Structure 1
Amino acid sequence: MTSFSLSDVPTSPFPVPTFITPKQCVTHLKLLSAFAELRDVISNNDGLFGLYDQGEHRENVARDNYQDLVREKRWAVYVARAVKRYTDWWFRCLPSQKPLPTMADIRKDAYAKVVKPKKIVQWHEDVLPPLDVLMVWHSHMLNPRKYLEDCIRYGKMCVWGARFPWELVDRQIDGTTFEYTTTGEARRYFETHINSSWDNLFDPPTTTVPCPNCGIQIVVEWTMGQDLADVKLPFEDFTGLADKGFRATCHNCQYLIDHDRLKLAKWRQDVQSLLEQNRPMPGCFYNLRGVPFPVSQSWKDAAFLYPSQLIRVVANDILEYTNPKTNKCHNIAAVRNYLNKRLQERRVLQLAHDSIISKVRPVRTEKICIRRMISRYWDNSGPFSLDLLGAVIRQGKFIQQMDRTNWIRAPTLHATISRSIKKYSVFFGIMADNPKQMAVPTLDVDLAWHTHQLSPMQYYNCSVGLASSPLRFMDHNDKVDEVDLTIGFEWTCKAYREVTDGEIYSECVCWFCEAVRYPDLYGHFRSSLLWLSDARKAVDELRRQHDHASKSDNGPHISVHSAVRPQKISEVDRIKRETRALQLLEAYRKSLGRAKKHSRSSKALVSAIAAVNSVVLPTSPPSDTVISQDEISSSFGEDEVNPERKDHAQNIEDFFDVWMVRLMGKGIVFQGRAVLLPRVGIVSLAGMHLLVGLLQGAVVVPEDVVEGEEEGAQDAEAVAGDLNIGNCTTIGSAAQIPERSGDLLLLVMTASDEVRLDHGRSTLS
């Protein structure tokens, strides 16, 4: 009978490579292509899961938008089913080592050896899972710290210690069609142990969930609802398990079940495991640096265990509070608030610290550990430490980017891979040397980084081996605020240039990468090192190698799959996003000015303005009802114009023709809901409205004032008056710039047919 086998871990370091190989990267590209083909087949399968391309929809929902939303929905439902299948494969097929770790085990010195398993899984082709399960496993492993936590928690360290089965997967994927095939024995093994079909689509349209109140299994639909009626609230009324609005009623006790109550049920189960089996709560298996050190009996050295100690003190009370029969608690946010109240009690703190000497409140490290524990339940009712559905969806952004580059079919594939590994080795060193900074990869670096993470034990050893003291397990966060991502990318470009004596990090000529490079190479506060000239020459050579007016998205662009945009954005964050977007746009405008000798047309600036709305600005989030609320990704800097922008192009062109004649091409802001930039003929409707909203009511300052002089105010005032710009203030001195709360944006306008945007203080309407 086919089964997994275990073998001893090689004692010599030579049989197991500590870094990645070109062959692994090429196989990884093949695997990503197989995932991309799978997504294309599923999302374009009209009628799959009862979702049709030609459904009924209101007049305000464009047909193309409707079809795009339906295709995304099909894929999301498919992924939700795949996560369920992966969960079954994880618990029923992958070998486990008992006993599972307890609080007492973590306190022992031997716990430090948990990352050195004595036995590891031996992969063979007869135990390989289906492609959809492989895809979820792939995304799980690309969250290194959380994957380590789940392997420790569920006794899967023999799996963690084994590399991804590269050689087997390479043989199973056709190099031309990227079709994934495997043996009949592998099919039988999966279907026998999982009690599911090998093909995801052959599984039934229903699944089961346990009732949180009475415990019996309830049959529910994966997705259920009417056709999409409103693009702003897509699938809002759908009530299946793969829908955000999931609702079901237990036929036994009439208890109403939804996602929030399933998360509470997971919480209660973990609290009971802590009480009855002394099992740590999720998030309590390693320190804040991701390293599973043993802890002493002193609470000062046991901060990452503190949440479990706290929960054990209040366990009976919190189980009563979350009991579905009492109907007191309805979501995890209420649990968090309850814990915050209990942390005000002196007696609770004393018991949690096992000391009669108690602090007024937990220290900062303990608070972080509590938040980490609670984070395991946000948008996650599954048994793992992260929402795998959201992880696969976000990883899909990277897969699409890699599929678009088409490196797997390029004649320069091996040269590209070799260059990627070289850049990644530098990138890895930058991460290790700068633990407080966020290094952001380009696509080629991210491919190598992902490949490395798919050998979990080797990646861990490299990470803690290179990191400066104290030891740190470098994580791969797949949920980063998009503004922070752009700032981190700018820092990474500069750091890479410094450690390589002027080499260019982002070898891409899209508007975004040009905007990021400009301040470092040509800005007022640039470095004066000798190799700066070499860096500029490298950029000029890069531009000569690319036709900027053509599609250039096959270069090593910033990797943005981890970018997320929260649904609720504070006023401070809104201003930060707006300012960041305008900084990028202005930097790119200056970059184009310097590049005129390379015959780069204004089409590139048009693309930048059209794209800036999808970079860091608060537009309506993408419509996907099954991914978690804080996991909405966005895409940066694509030079191609999407169908929505094409629909508006002619209207915008006509609009600008009228105002170009009337205003003689001067760059202005006016209340007719548009921004006119010199020599720009087309801009997306979304981008136009966005910039107008930002700039209306701004302080108008002549360029001379910004540069330290106090002349030119009269010219600026005359221009403003002639053009009848409403709700603006013209000043003649930098000292007159208003000091008001929330002032952040500065519009610099002169009579020289030029608009310049700078970071400063001003008013936003």
Structure 2
Amino acid sequence: MALEHRLTKLSLHQRGKDMVTGPNRPNDPTGKPYELAYKAQDIPAIPDPSVFNFQDNPNGSSTRSPSTPDLALPNLAECATHLEFLETLFVLRQKILVSKDLDEVMQTEPRREEKTGIQGDTKTFKDENLWGRRQIKWPLYVEFATIRFLAWRECFNKSNIMKITQDNLPPLDILMVWHSFLLNPRLFYNTCSDEPLFSVRFPWNHIHEAINSDEWSFTLGPRAAAHYKNNYGFAPDLYDDMASWKTLTHATRREIPRLGIKLSLYPSKIYESPCREYASLFETFRTTLAGQLRDAVIRQASFVDKMNSYMWIRSPALEGTIRRGISRYLNFCKLIKMSKITVVPTLDIDLVWHTHQCTAKYYGQAMKVLAGKFVNHDDTIEKPQLGDGFAETRALYRVHFGQEYRACGCWDCQALLTELERVLEKGESPDIDVIAMKVKEDVFYHRAVEWSRRHKTTLPMRRIAVP
């Protein structure tokens, strides 16, 4: 890439960040303000709805013979929905951490100190430790989500339901734990291989339908919400349910942070619903598996943060980034098959790999074909241990595929690569100046849209359509 020089990339990345997070709406590349989309037909659709075509199957399974294994390779729509799902989890975590309602419920309210000056004036000081105390809220939410998942899993396995539909889609917190379970394929196989759940693919299409990509919120349809409430007895939205507990007595709220997967030395003193029922649920599902799933969800926060940082789901190069990621993932599997070292994925490959793992039992079958063996995904390995592995993987990738392994994930680099590929596929001679101008217009506009969304203001429209 022309942008490979470290200082050039740092400058470019900082400029891009400043455009999205700065106080002023970004202008177009000529410095002029964008016209605003006041009419419904002018409002931009980012990401493009055409990305979410769940019938696009890279497997070619419609023509696959019965003797050919189903590789269950993820397609563009599934990977894009995965990005939507991760961004929704990011927003949920931030919402929980700053929630004043949950501060009351979990006893993390601000502790402001008042001091009187020598002249008798009184000042109230900010609680400098508030953010640190608030950190307990996410792990506690995850523990409640974990036991809700385990209860859901038990009932699902006992039911006659063979697949997830729009009418029985589980709540977001349960999907979150199920997702992290699938991303630990060895644990999932050892635990669930004899269960009906083992054959159920993660329901990306229904998840996409439940996500509002303007606000990154998740809403179950009325039938799915009623199905969960009627069959499991708990509120479909765990966050709303927990936030409502601020109306419970102080004696009950004081006990809530003591609930959890870890066995307490003191018996629960909660007598109010629904906390009493949750206390009973913890007693039932307080297992080693519960602790493993809780830890898996918490570990996933790191990858969620990285995907939020790159914000590929709002990138002008979304389709190109994912399609290249799928192709690179297949090469990655070939490296696993031919190499004895620990092959370390890049972020785009990791996204596709994670999406592939969400096919449940089909992932294990596919990896035996693609990589020659069952491949576990060990997210407990510390980053320093992966350092040499990445360098070796990069070198092997260059040797076997003649391509650079390390890929810059910023919008500029990805959009430039996508446009260059488009021109070459059409058999045209690339004009770098024309390509650079088109990419600049694309990236500037998408950043202006993202800025407007974050500031909850009217979205811009394109001044001149880009062919």
Please give the TM-score of this superposition, normalised by the length of structure 2.
Answer: 0.60
Q: 1:55 matched to which residue of 2?
A: 111
- Per chain length, whose mean CA-contact separation is higher, i.e. which structure has more relative contact order (CA < 8 Å, sep 6+)? 2
Equivalent position to 2:136, from 47, 67, 73: 73
Equivalent position to 1:453, from 352, 357, 374: 357
Equivalent position to 1:478, from 379, 401, 417: 379
Equivalent position to 1:199, from 219, 224, 237: 237
Equivalent position to 1:505, from 405, 430, 440: 405
Q: 2:215 matched to which residue of 1?
A: 177
Residue 21 of structure 1 and its aligned partner are, at CA, apart by: 0.9
Equivalent position to 2:181, from 126, 132, 140: 140
2:110·2:127 contact (CA, 8 Å) conserved in 1? no
- Cα 1:386–1:465 change in 2 (3 A) is farther
Equivalent position to 1:33, from 78, 82, 87: 87
Residue 441 of structure 1 and its aligned partner are, at CA, apart by: 1.5
Provide the rounded CA distance (Å) in 1 between the counterparts of 2:154 and 2:258.
24
Residue 412 of structure 1 and its aligned partner are, at CA, apart by: 0.8
Provide the rounded CA distance (Å) in 2 between the counterparts of 1:483 and 1:57.
42
Q: 1:415 matched to which residue of 2?
A: 320
Residue 417 of structure 1 and its aligned partner are, at CA, apart by: 0.7
Residue 12 of structure 1 and its aligned partner are, at CA, apart by: 3.5
Q: 1:89 matched to which residue of 2?
A: 152
1:77·1:222 contact (CA, 8 Å) conserved in 2? no
Provide the rounded CA distance (Å) in 2 between the counterparts of 1:486 and 1:385.
31
1:123·1:165 contact (CA, 8 Å) conserved in 2? yes
1:223·1:241 contact (CA, 8 Å) conserved in 2? no
Equivalent position to 1:391, from 277, 284, 296: 296
Provide the rounded CA distance (Å) in 2 between the counterparts of 1:409 and 1:23.
14
Provide the rounded CA distance (Å) in 2 between the counterparts of 1:41 and 1:438.
37
1:142·1:453 contact (CA, 8 Å) conserved in 2? yes
Residue 198 of structure 1 aligns to a residue whose secondary structure is: coil
> What percentage of aligned pairs have identical amino acids?
30
Residue 248 of structure 1 aligns to a residue whose secondary structure is: coil
1:343-362 map, 5 Å: none
The structure with the largest alpha-carbon Rg is 1
1:153-173 Cα shifts (integer Å, max 9, x gaps): xx42x3222321122112221
1:553-564 map, 5 Å: none
Residue 466 of structure 1 and its aligned partner are, at CA, apart by: 3.3
Residue 242 of structure 1 and its aligned partner are, at CA, apart by: 3.6
Q: 1:727 matched to which residue of 2?
A: none
Provide the rounded CA distance (Å) in 2 between the counterparts of 1:460 and 1:24.
18
Residue 204 of structure 1 and its aligned partner are, at CA, apart by: 6.5
Residue 18 of structure 1 aligns to a residue whose secondary structure is: coil
| Runs of 4+ in structure 1 over 4 Å off | 13-17, 56-59, 62-65, 202-207, 220-225, 243-246
Q: Which runs of 5+ in 1 are unaligned?
A: 1-9, 98-119, 208-219, 226-238, 252-264, 267-379, 511-553, 555-765
Provide the rounded CA distance (Å) in 2 between the counterparts of 1:382 and 1:27.
31
Provide the rounded CA distance (Å) in 2 between the counterparts of 1:205 and 1:178.
19
1:77·1:223 contact (CA, 8 Å) conserved in 2? no
1:96-129 Cα shifts (integer Å, max 9, x gaps): 69xxxxxxxxxxxxxxxxxxxxxx9222111101
Provide the rounded CA distance (Å) in 2 between the counterparts of 1:58 and 1:423.
59
- Cα 1:456–1:80 change in 2 (3 A) is same
1:264-663 map, 5 Å: 381-382=286-287, 384=289, 387-434=292-339, 436-468=340-372, 472-501=373-402, 503-508=403-408
Please give the TM-score of this superposition, normalised by the length of structure 1.
Answer: 0.38
Provide the rounded CA distance (Å) in 2 between the counterparts of 1:11 and 1:509.
37
Residue 20 of structure 1 and its aligned partner are, at CA, apart by: 1.5
1:56-111 Cα shifts (integer Å, max 9, x gaps): 6999xx978623323321111111111111111111234469xxxxxxxxxxxxxx
Residue 463 of structure 1 and its aligned partner are, at CA, apart by: 1.1
Q: 2:259 matched to which residue of 1?
A: 241
Provide the rounded CA distance (Å) in 2 between the counterparts of 1:133 and 1:70.
25
1:665-689 Cα shifts (integer Å, max 9, x gaps): xxxxxxxxxxxxxxxxxxxxxxxxx
RMSD, aligned α-carbons: 3.7
- Cα 1:71–1:485 change in 2 (3 A) is farther
1:158-206 Cα shifts (integer Å, max 9, x gaps): 3222321122112221232222222222112111222211121454699
- Cα 1:243–1:189 change in 2 (3 A) is closer
Residue 47 of structure 1 and its aligned partner are, at CA, apart by: 4.4
Q: 2:118 matched to which residue of 1?
A: none
Provide the rounded CA distance (Å) in 2 between the counterparts of 1:96 and 1:124.
14
Q: 1:332 matched to which residue of 2?
A: none
> 446-455 vs 62-71, which deviates more?
62-71
- Cα 1:78–1:250 change in 2 (3 A) is closer
Q: Which runs of 5+ in 2 are unaligned?
A: 1-63, 116-124, 246-250, 270-282, 411-446, 448-467
Provide the rounded CA distance (Å) in 2 between the counterparts of 1:177 and 1:492.
38
- Cα 1:200–1:381 change in 2 (3 A) is same
Paired letter, 2:235: S
1:396-422 Cα shifts (integer Å, max 9, x gaps): 111111011111111111011111111
Provide the rounded CA distance (Å) in 2 between the counterparts of 1:65 and 1:13.
64
Residue 266 of structure 2 aligns to a residue whose secondary structure is: strand
1:207-257 Cα shifts (integer Å, max 9, x gaps): 9xxxxxxxxxxxx979759xxxxxxxxxxxxx7134979431489xxxxxx
